[in-house]
């Protein structure tokens, strides 16, 4: 070891003469060391700790992500959410071993496989699918009533796009028709309307959070319900950051600006927040429809439309005193509504529960951030935020959303 | 079951020819090649033509027989080949272990067997490993054959990881019963014990482990046939065989995922029981199924005489379907008047489609 000591000593001596080691190297050094150590540790198969895993049977934790029925076939996508590799060896459909193919024979942790099973299912019949693993474990998926899954062709995608327009773009645009009414309303009315807006944004935040948690309730891969909250936090912080960044630039040019946000930007923020929310909502609708768990009748579409009309009102309320141009209003409406189309398309194409839950969380965080930003605007001449009027407005907003939400209990 | 479907099955010889047969079965090849192939392969219920998915160049890592069961239940790619599974139901059929015989001073025959309980993995379905407990490394264990009145000596060694016993159905003293706490009781891992008793009464019997918890100690594979031939013998049969009906509970739940006769699900679909036209076929049928209360046996295109427990020389019934509860057994005697392939299976279709079905193939005499 004398050689090492010599070089170390030489290096120490050099430190005095040479300029200090660059900062980035100091940051990178520990990272490299950690990587080398981890590599050695796994290469040597956890030296000294081998018996820790001895006799512990592998854990087989698999989540069913997607079930699709096509004529004479059932397609099931499953994901390994456990720590050990899992191999699906046999597929049993209601006590019948059916021939199948799969895209991946052994799933490493977090990997998925799609099984294409030959089975002449009967329309309307319930089935219990049991995927038998190489160790004999069973992963079950229920098909409550077999029905053909919609084909994912171009007509299907245009259908999804139309759906997005129905539940996203049109309702928001309709809601914005309250603009003239808002403009002519006196200050106290505006405060009530702001309260209503806050109430409905709050409702959306709670609703989206619960929906996101529901989506990943039985799917622990990628953290389960954690992704909803991470998504919400991420959206909240991102919007706050953008907001602060925009404000800093403006502060440089215009001095003495009030602390509250300018209405134009607030409206934009609301539109973005609602847009993110509608992305999640479109995703949920698209995926639910494509996996056949949601029959989208006219009632349901109307329900969603009424439910979302209130979102248009939310965008225009802060603009009461600074009426924008028609073009700007249209842009705001599109920002809020169009993501529903994208969501429906994504949801119908690549159904991934964790992604859906994450995006629902993002929507929740975004609308929550906007709701909080709106609070200062409700202040009356005495500087009070919560007055009987504004509280009543918030309650009214919650009530309206709750009532219209009952129309879309799918 | 469509009768003509059987014709689609290749002969036994063509099945054994490996790759050629496999090439014709997209279901199987797709299963094998699926890791790299994506979504585009569909097995088409085993009836598809194989041109698009030939796997002639693939390594010979055969899991199953490569047989497709058009219109029948079965695993994608057929049942597991016996050498891979570690179980050969066809060999078990006619494998009567008569033991090492010698003559006692009193003139009686002494039969001796060495039976070792070992833990062993079996591939009971393509890709599905069953961590079994076995007598002499096979499920079901060896079929012990004796003549009524013979002296029997079974040298049992427990090489497994858990205590086991050998409990014989028959008439014997309490300490030879293989019941924990009585006589030698539980035989601990590494220990041995010799069970000694006389072969009586004649009939078709069984033996199994009687260590508690009973269900896993039996269902993991510790059972076998125990045949006592009447002193005067039975009418000579042209073909005598044993069929042990069992099941496999692979996930530790309260039901079986697989069912079989002689240990390997769907084996006799791919390797039919070969019999001769008009020959007297005697089947010692034993039910050791756990977790399900009743098993059954049904044969197509024929009727049989049934001798419950085999303890009488006159049949009790002429039928084509009988049922047995756990531990119940009997003798099935039949002749096939016509050549061809005839199914036999549990008439509980769930069991049948989870592995307990097969064919007799009757060769013209």
Give the closest-approach CA distance of A343 to chain B in angstroms.
25
A97/B128 CB distance under 8 A: no
How far is residue A111 from each of residues A80, A176, A258, A361, B87, measured CA to CA in Å?
6, 45, 52, 23, 33
Q: B12: pLDDT confidence band, cut at 50, 70 and 90? A: very low
B43/A95 CB distance under 8 A: no
What's the ipTM?
0.70
* Cis before B201? omega within 30: yes
Candidates A76, A96, A101, partner chain B, best to mutate (most B CBs within 10 A): A101
| pLDDT of A410 above 60 | no
By percentage, how much of chain B surpasses pLDDT 70?
Answer: 81
Reported residue count of chain B is: 365
Q: A372: pLDDT confidence band, cut at 50, 70 and 90? A: confident
pLDDT of residue A158: 86
| Alpha-carbon gap, residue B54 to B44, rounded angstroms | 15
Higher-scoring residue by pLDDT: A407, A193: A193
Q: A8: pLDDT confidence band, cut at 50, 70 and 90? A: low
pLDDT of residue B32: 39
By percentage, how much of chain A surpasses pLDDT 90?
Answer: 17
Q: For residues B94 and B105, is the Cβ–Cβ distance under 8 A?
A: no
DSSP state of B300: T
| pLDDT of B19 above 50 | no
| Alpha-carbon gap, residue A124 to A385, rounded angstroms | 55
Residues of B in contact with A134 (CB under 8 A): 127-129
Q: How large is the angle between the packed helices A339-349 and A154-164, nearest 10 degrees?
A: 140
Q: For residue B209, give the nearest of B162, B276, B244, B243 by alpha carbon.
A: B162
- The residue-averaged pLDDT of A350-355 equals 78
Q: How large is the angle between the packed helices A226-253 and A353-374, nearest 10 degrees?
A: 40
* B238 touching chain A per CB within 8 A: no
DSSP state of A218: T
| pLDDT of B33 above 50 | no
Q: For residues A137 and B251, is the Cβ–Cβ distance under 8 A?
A: yes
| pLDDT of B118 above 90 | yes
Q: B65: pLDDT confidence band, cut at 50, 70 and 90? A: low
Backbone φ, ψ for residue B116 (5° rounding)? -120, 130
| pLDDT of A221 above 80 | no
pLDDT of residue B30: 38
The residue of chain A nearest to residue B44, with distances taken between CA atoms, is A118
| pLDDT of B130 above 80 | yes
Q: Residue B122: left (phi > 0), alpha (psi -120 to 50), or beta?
A: beta
Written as one string, the DSSP assignment of A83-111 is: SS-EEEEEEEESS-B--EEES-SEEPTT-
| pLDDT of B113 above 60 | yes
| Alpha-carbon gap, residue A286 to B196, rounded angstroms | 72
Kindly tell me the burial class for residue B139, based on how many C-beta atoms sit within 10 Å of its own C-beta (0-12, 13-18, 19 or more): buried
Higher-scoring residue by pLDDT: B273, A218: B273
Q: For residues B142 and B135, is the Cβ–Cβ distance under 8 A?
A: yes
- The residue-averaged pLDDT of A149-156 equals 76
| pLDDT of A392 above 50 | yes
For B278-299, write each residue's pLDDT tens digit: 999 999 999 999 999 999 999 9
Q: For residues B186 and B165, is the Cβ–Cβ distance under 8 A?
A: yes
Residue B299 tokens read as 């044969």
| Alpha-carbon gap, residue A8 to A309, rounded angstroms | 71
Candidates A70, A92, A97, A115, partner chain B, best to mutate (most B CBs within 10 A): A97
Written as one string, the DSSP assignment of B171-185 is: S--GGGS--TTSTT-
Residues of B in contact with A116 (CB under 8 A): 39, 41-43
Q: A270: pLDDT confidence band, cut at 50, 70 and 90? A: confident
All domains of chain A in start order, with CATH: 3-53 (no CATH), 62-143 (2.60.40.10), 154-405 (no CATH)
Comparing A62-66, A362-366, B34-38, B323-327, which segment has the lowest mean pLDDT? Answer: B34-38
| Alpha-carbon gap, residue A168 to A335, rounded angstroms | 10
| Alpha-carbon gap, residue B18 to B15, rounded angstroms | 6
Greatest mean pLDDT among A49-53, A137-141, A226-230, B220-224 lies in: B220-224
Give the closest-approach CA distance of B265 to chain A in angstroms.
11
Backbone φ, ψ for residue A61 (5° rounding)? -120, 115
Candidates A90, A107, A119, A349, partner chain B, best to mutate (most B CBs within 10 A): A90
Residues of B in contact with A72 (CB under 8 A): 44-45
pTM of the model: 0.72
Interface A–B counts its CB contacts (< 8 A) at 104
The residue of chain A nearest to residue B46, with distances taken between CA atoms, is A99
pLDDT of residue A249: 61
What stretch of H or E contains A170? helix A170-175
Greatest mean pLDDT among A202-216, A354-368, B102-116 lies in: B102-116
Give the closest-approach CA distance of B113 to chain A in angstroms.
33
The residue of chain B nearest to residue A75, with distances taken between CA atoms, is B39
Q: B25: pLDDT confidence band, cut at 50, 70 and 90? A: very low
| pLDDT of A321 above 80 | no
Residues of A in contact with B357 (CB under 8 A): none
Q: Terminal CA-to-CA distance of chain A, rounded, Å?
A: 72
Candidates B250, B254, B259, partner chain A, best to mutate (most A CBs within 10 A): B250
Which of B30, B128, B353 lies nearest to residue A101, judging by beta carbons?
B30
A134/B128 CB distance under 8 A: yes
Residues of B in contact with A133 (CB under 8 A): 128
- The residue-averaged pLDDT of A183-197 equals 85
- The residue-averaged pLDDT of A2-23 equals 61
The residue of chain A nearest to residue B74, with distances taken between CA atoms, is A97
How far is residue A252 from each of residues A222, A245, A246, B261, measured CA to CA in Å?
43, 11, 10, 86
Give the closest-approach CA distance of B123 to chain A in angstroms.
9
Contacts of A143 (CB under 8 A, 6+ apart): A67, A69, A74, A121, A126, A127, A128, A129
């Amino acid at each position: 070891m004398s050689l090492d000591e010599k070089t170390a000593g030489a290096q120490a001596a050099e430190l005095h003469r040479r300029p200090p080691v660059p900062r980035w190297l100091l940051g990178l050094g520990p990272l490299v060391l950690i990587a080398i150590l981890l590599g050695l540790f796994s290469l040597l198969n956890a030296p000294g700790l081998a018996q820790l895993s001895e006799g512990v049977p592998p854990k087989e934790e698999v989540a069913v992500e997607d079930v699709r029925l096509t004529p004479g076939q059932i397609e099931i996508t499953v994901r390994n959410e456990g720590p050990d590799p899992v191999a699906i060896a046999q597929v049993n459909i209601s006590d019948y071993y059916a021939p199948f193919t799969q895209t991946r024979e052994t799933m490493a942790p977090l990997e998925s496989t799609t099984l294409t099973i030959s089975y002449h299912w009967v329309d309307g019949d319930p089935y219990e699918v049991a995927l038998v693993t190489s160790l004999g474990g069973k992963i079950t998926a229920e098909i409550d009533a077999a029905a053909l899954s919609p084909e994912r062709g171009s007509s299907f995608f245009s259908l999804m796009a139309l759906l997005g327009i129905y539940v996203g773009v049109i309702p928001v645009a309709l809601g914005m028709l309250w603009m003239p009414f808002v403009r002519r309303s006196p200050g106290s009315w505006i405060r009530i309307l702001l309260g209503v807006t806050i109430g409905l944004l709050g409702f959306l935040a709670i609703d989206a959070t619960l929906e996101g948690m529901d989506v990943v309730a039985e799917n622990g891969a990628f953290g389960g319900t954690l992704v909803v909250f991470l998504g919400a936090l991420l959206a909240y912080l991102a919007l706050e950051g953008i907001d602060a960044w925009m404000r800093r630039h403006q502060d440089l040019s215009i001095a003495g600006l009030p602390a509250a946000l300018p209405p134009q930007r607030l409206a934009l923020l609301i539109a973005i927040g609602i847009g993110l929310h509608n992305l999640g909502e479109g995703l949920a609708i698209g995926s639910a429809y494509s996996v056949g768990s949601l029959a989208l009748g006219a009632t349901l579409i109307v329900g969603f439309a009424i439910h979302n009309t209130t979102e248009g009102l939310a965008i225009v309320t802060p603009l009461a005193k600074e009426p924008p141009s028609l073009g700007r209003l249209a842009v705001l409406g599109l920002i809020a509504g169009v993501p529903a189309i994208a969501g429906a398309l994504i949801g119908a194409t690549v159904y991934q529960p964790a992604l859906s839950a994450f995006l629902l969380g993002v929507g929740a965080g975004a609308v929550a951030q906007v709701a909080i930003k709106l609070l200062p605007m409700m202040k009356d001449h005495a500087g009070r935020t919560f007055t009987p009027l504004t509280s009543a407005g918030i309650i009214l907003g919650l009530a309206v959303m709750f009532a219209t939400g009952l129309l879309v209990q799918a | 079951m469509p009768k003509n479907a059987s014709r689609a099955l290749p002969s036994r010889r063509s099945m054994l020819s490996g790759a050629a047969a496999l090439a014709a079965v997209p279901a199987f090849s797709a299963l094998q090649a699926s890791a790299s192939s994506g979504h585009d392969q569909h097995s088409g219920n085993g009836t598809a033509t194989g041109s698009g998915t030939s796997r002639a160049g693939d390594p010979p890592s055969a899991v199953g027989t490569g047989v497709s069961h058009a219109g029948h239940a079965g695993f994608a790619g057929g049942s597991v080949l016996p050498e891979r599974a570690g179980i050969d139901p066809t060999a078990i059929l006619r494998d009567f272990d008569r033991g090492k015989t010698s003559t006692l001073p009193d003139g009686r025959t002494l039969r001796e067997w060495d039976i070792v309980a070992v833990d062993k993995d079996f591939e009971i379905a393509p890709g599905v490993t069953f961590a079994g407990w076995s007598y002499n490394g096979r499920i079901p264990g060896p079929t012990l054959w004796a003549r009524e009145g013979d002296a029997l000596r079974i040298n049992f060694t427990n090489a497994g990881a858990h205590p086991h016993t050998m409990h014989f159905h028959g008439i014997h003293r309490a300490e030879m019963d293989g019941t924990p706490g009585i006589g030698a009781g539980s035989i601990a891992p590494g220990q041995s014990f010799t069970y000694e008793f006389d072969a009586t009464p004649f009939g078709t019997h069984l033996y199994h482990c009687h260590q508690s918890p009973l269900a896993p100690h039996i269902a993991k594979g510790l059972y076998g046939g125990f045949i006592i031939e009447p002193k005067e013998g039975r009418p000579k049969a042209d073909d005598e065989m044993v069929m042990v009906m069992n099941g496999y509970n692979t996930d530790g739940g309260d039901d079986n995922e697989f069912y079989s006769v002689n240990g390997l699900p769907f084996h006799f679909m791919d390797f039919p029981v070969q019999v001769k036209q008009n020959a007297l076929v005697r089947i010692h049928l034993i039910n050791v199924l756990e977790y399900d209360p009743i098993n059954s046996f049904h044969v197509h295109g024929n009727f049989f005489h049934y001798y419950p427990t085999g303890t009488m020389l006159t049949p009790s019934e002429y039928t084509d379907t009988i049922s047995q509860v756990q531990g119940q057994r009997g003798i099935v005697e039949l002749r096939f008047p016509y050549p061809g392939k005839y199914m036999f299976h549990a008439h509980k279709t769930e069991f049948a489609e989870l592995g307990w079905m097969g064919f007799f193939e009757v060769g013209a005499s």
